[in-house]
Structure 1
Amino acid sequence: MKNVVATNRFGLGAHPGELEKASSDPLDYVLNQIAPISFEIWGSAHSIALTLNRMRKLDSEKSKEESRKYGQATYRQLAVGTLNNAINSTQPFMWRMLDFFSNHFSVTAQGAYLTALSGTLEREAIAPNLLGRFSDMLLSTYRHPVMLAYLNNEKSVGQNSRLGKKGKGLNENLAREILELHTLGIEGGYTQKDVIALANGISGWGIQNPDKTEGELFSFRKAGHEPGSQNLLGRKFDQTNQQQGEAMIHFIASQPATAKFISGKLVKHVVSDSPSPALLKYVEQTWINTKGDLKAVYTALVTHPHAWLITSEKFKTPREFFISTSRGLGLKSVKEGSSIRILKNMGQAPLKAGSPAGYADSEDFWNSGYGLMARADWIASLGIDKNIEVKTIADSVLGPALSKNTQQLMMRAESRDRAFALLFLSPEFMRR
């Protein structure tokens, strides 16, 4: 059974033949996946600089409608490219981690520019830092134009800065979400004064005109930065310019509340909505001991015995259900338009959470009548290859986890399509 845990709980659902590969040493099978990933398949042909330049050119040369269409096309290519990489990957654990942090640093594809650019955040800021320190991922994410634009920090200037004296104002959005959603958590002990202090510390952080640089698009505007020291969480920060905000972010990342909040959220994502206190404490302590070394944190999670309980307690999100079904059927790629439409019908269109909090990650949100009907409708529409036997797929994706009840229901099904629906909508497949 541990091979099923390795491929479904820690992975994204078994490929044909993957259960056998994980059988000899399931733990080692997962640990060997903790290595860098890349977008070589369905890769990022749309860097943020290239995409911005293309959209600016369309705005000036053609029309807003052409720009909108280009943005939508880019969104689809990047979103489905990530899906296809996950479906094909031999490192599904790491693609699970990418999905987790991409949702943790949620940005919503809205408006022409953010629709086009939202998919670049996980490629350019999150994926390269999946195996480093959490503080480095934070800094990379907050310097990325997508996050700066999504939470309006590119318009934020300090009240006493040169631009502030001309009437421009401070925007607290990014600072608030850093503290509430990305690091300390809502119970992390910060106050409104801390939000303002952090907003002042990162004032002047903005986006460079892509026509003026061939490098990164982060821009620091000294004229918009609030002068003077800032007091955050009881500590004084005397640094100047962008170094002040950087120091504040590193400090927040080092807080015990951050270790507790993020490691707990990660454990709940992978293992259970109600994991054991011992597992939570072990991963949290590893985070503290290693100063947020994410590779060490993953290893602690994967090696703890309470993460390997045989009972499947985590209900799959629509995205997980879509990817695991596609992997189980041995699909190599999914289509752009239909994939996004299907996930939208299930309630989880890529990069469309509509909130910086991201999509929910618990059974009480996703296990609903409407959501289950959407999953059933998709399974019914798949048109599975006539040469594929349902029992072969059942053994391949679930192995010993396939219940006798599901086996009997499949055998008694009035049609082949009905048998596949009973398999993919069974409790043992819907949970991991």
Structure 2
Amino acid sequence: MNRTLRACNRFGMGATVGDPALADPRSWLLGQVRSDAAALDDASLPTASVVGAANRALIEAQRSRDEGAIRVAREEIRGIARAEGGAALRARVTSTAPFAERLVAFWSNHFCVSVPAKPPIAALAGLYERQVIRPHVFGRFEDMVLASARHPAMLVYLDNAVSIGPHSAAARGLARRGRERGLNENYARELLELHTLGVDGGYAQEDVEALARILTGWTVTGFGFADRLARGRDRRGSGANDNTVAFAYQDVLHEPGDKTLLGVKYGEAGEEEGRRAIADLCRHPSTARFLATKLVRHFVADEPPPEAVDRIVSRWTETDGDLAEVSRGLIDLDEAWMPEYRKFRAPQDWLTAMLRAVGARDVPEPIGRLLQQLRQPLWAPSSPKGYADTKSEWADPDSLLNRAELARSAAGRLSSAALARSSPGDRRTSRVDPERFLEIVDVSDSDPLVTLLADGSIAADERTALVFGGPAFQWR
């Protein structure tokens, strides 16, 4: 087994033609476990106020039924989404800390929001990844959960922004006007089932209801509904002003009284109830087991070896969910380096690995369309579960044929890019020798791919397509 390739492909985002072998692959990975490794140069990206203004403009245009203003606002949001998506994918392709980028992708999928689900998410998804995921990849799990729980993207996506305590001041006011809006359990359920304890984590429906009541009042400003409810009332709590899309705690929405979650009583404490509940969920033994299993599934095998899971559970528990220590624990897993354990590349991984293979310094403009074609567009899973992380989801015949055709259509551009990177002073030929691509796939000398790449009677572009569309490159 080539340990450099295992480090680059299993833990990173893909190997690059021409890069030297790593003297110590584990040390190379460990050196990426630092607080700034996932930082993104976002100086050119939309600020939170720009994102908020764009969403606010769309809401106001829709209220006034101004079709021209609606078109302008939607185009502004599409521009924000393109800029954010391009920056996120560019980081995966060009980062010198690809282990950190893999973890960004993992946690972004774990705490996913989905652009198709709600119109505002298109402008918020990239900001969400920058504000919630990247700063906490090597921080405390509890801090990442709290950041997610308080972010407008998650609050809007899973409807907590419009959840009203049945006995809250807002509910009483609505009842007097003959209107009813009540408790929404969507976020509470996913926080338990998908973000912390897991579906087998030992909670019941009454715990979902209790957590939903605890989290009433956790809403956002700038989307109209919560603003209108609170306007003119004596608001207690935290949050930004009503002209900004941001987290806000609105006490008028909060369900009063004590609540009991997983046998623990939470006395009436407003916003603090939610903070306490999230802290307790993050420290629950089921959370350690659920997340350890998911991480080992991602870095080792679709069927996680129980011994490897146990070691990550221990690391998680000993460090109280310190994700830097947990990440080091993943690197230390012997199973992650064993050739018998393999992971099939999901479409985003496969396309990213192709671009990294040739040393691309940017992402092609149609990458969004290509990911759509491959069934894994950025920030667009069909459910809060996120995208699947197993071979069975991505290795059906139609998907494999799709990859082969895409590899064939891109072969010329890919081999030219590799040549331009590896031989900047040589412009006498327009294609890199396809045999160079053996540097990025871990195959034995007897593998048929070796013979095919050496066959000069096969066109260079066809041989390049054999690498990226062939079996070996589908695995990491």
TM tier, shorter chain?
Answer: over 0.9
Summarize the Cα distance change of 1:12–1:121 in structure 2 as closer, same or farther, 3 Å threshold.
Answer: same
In structure 1, the residue matched to 2:206 is: 193
Unmatched 5+ residue regions in structure 1?
none
CA distance in 1, matches of 2:306, 2:215: 36
In structure 2, the residue matched to 1:51 is: 51
Q: Which structure is larger by alpha-carbon Rg, 1 or 2?
A: 2
8 Å Cα contact 1:402-1:428 kept in structure 2:
no
> Which residue, 257, 266, 274 being the options, matches 2:303?
274
Amino acid at match of 1:54: A
SS of the residue 1:18 aligns to = coil
Summarize the Cα distance change of 1:41–1:87 in structure 2 as closer, same or farther, 3 Å threshold.
Answer: farther
> Which residue, 121, 126, 143 being the options, matches 2:133?
126
Unmatched 5+ residue regions in structure 2?
175-179, 224-239, 417-429
1:28 shift after superposition: 0.3
Amino acid at match of 1:317: A
Alpha-carbon displacement from aligned partner over 1:253-296 (angstroms, at most 9, x marks no partner): 10110000011101111111123211110001111111111011
CA distance in 2, matches of 1:371, 1:181: 27
> Which residue, 92, 106, 113 being the options, matches 2:112?
106
Alpha-carbon displacement from aligned partner over 1:353-410 (angstroms, at most 9, x marks no partner): 1210111110011001111122112212213213322112322x13666763211122
Moved more, 386-395 or 293-302: 386-395
1:324 shift after superposition: 0.6
1:430 shift after superposition: 1.0
8 Å Cα contact 2:293-2:309 kept in structure 1:
yes
In structure 2, the residue matched to 1:146 is: 153
CA distance in 1, matches of 2:38, 2:389: 25
Alpha-carbon displacement from aligned partner over 1:70-119 (angstroms, at most 9, x marks no partner): 22221122112111011001110010000001011111102432112122
In structure 1, the residue matched to 2:389 is: 361
Task: Report the RMSD for the aligned CA atoms in angstroms.
Answer: 2.0
CA distance in 2, matches of 1:44, 1:160: 45
For normalisation by structure 2, the TM-score amounts to 0.86
CA distance in 1, matches of 2:305, 2:13: 22
SS of the residue 2:265 aligns to = strand
SS of the residue 1:341 aligns to = helix
8 Å Cα contact 2:220-2:245 kept in structure 1:
no
8 Å Cα contact 1:208-1:219 kept in structure 2:
yes
Summarize the Cα distance change of 1:240–1:41 in structure 2 as closer, same or farther, 3 Å threshold.
Answer: closer
1:313 shift after superposition: 1.1
CA distance in 1, matches of 2:222, 2:368: 31
CA distance in 2, matches of 1:12, 1:403: 26
> Which residue, 448, 454, 457 being the options, matches 1:405?
448
1:39 shift after superposition: 5.0
Q: Are positions 1:344 and 2:402 aligned together?
A: no
Amino acid at match of 1:3: T
Q: Are positions 1:26 and 2:32 aligned together?
A: no
CA distance in 2, matches of 1:324, 1:344: 17
CA distance in 1, matches of 2:215, 2:3: 46
Amino acid at match of 1:408: T
Moved more, 150-159 or 205-214: 205-214
Alpha-carbon displacement from aligned partner over 1:188-247 (angstroms, at most 9, x marks no partner): 110000000000000011112398379881100001101111111111111411000110
8 Å Cα contact 1:184-1:255 kept in structure 2:
yes
> Which residue, 286, 293, 315 being the options, matches 2:315?
286
> Which residue, 405, 410, 415 being the options, matches 2:459?
415
1:54 shift after superposition: 2.9
Summarize the Cα distance change of 1:403–1:101 in structure 2 as closer, same or farther, 3 Å threshold.
Answer: farther
CA distance in 2, matches of 1:115, 1:306: 38
8 Å Cα contact 1:394-1:402 kept in structure 2:
no
Summarize the Cα distance change of 1:90–1:158 in structure 2 as closer, same or farther, 3 Å threshold.
Answer: same
Summarize the Cα distance change of 1:308–1:416 in structure 2 as closer, same or farther, 3 Å threshold.
Answer: same
CA distance in 2, matches of 1:266, 1:124: 22
Summarize the Cα distance change of 1:374–1:53 in structure 2 as closer, same or farther, 3 Å threshold.
Answer: same
CA distance in 2, matches of 1:43, 1:100: 24
SS of the residue 2:384 aligns to = coil
In structure 1, the residue matched to 2:338 is: 309
CA distance in 1, matches of 2:136, 2:381: 23
How many residue pairs align between the two structures? Answer: 428
Summarize the Cα distance change of 1:302–1:168 in structure 2 as closer, same or farther, 3 Å threshold.
Answer: same
8 Å Cα contact 2:93-2:353 kept in structure 1:
yes
Moved more, 371-380 or 353-362: 371-380
Amino acid at match of 1:344: Q
CA distance in 1, matches of 2:461, 2:436: 14
Q: Are positions 1:265 and 2:333 aligned together?
A: no
CA distance in 1, matches of 2:190, 2:276: 17
CA distance in 2, matches of 1:281, 1:32: 25
Summarize the Cα distance change of 1:114–1:37 in structure 2 as closer, same or farther, 3 Å threshold.
Answer: same
CA distance in 1, matches of 2:471, 2:185: 44
Moved more, 60-69 or 175-184: 60-69
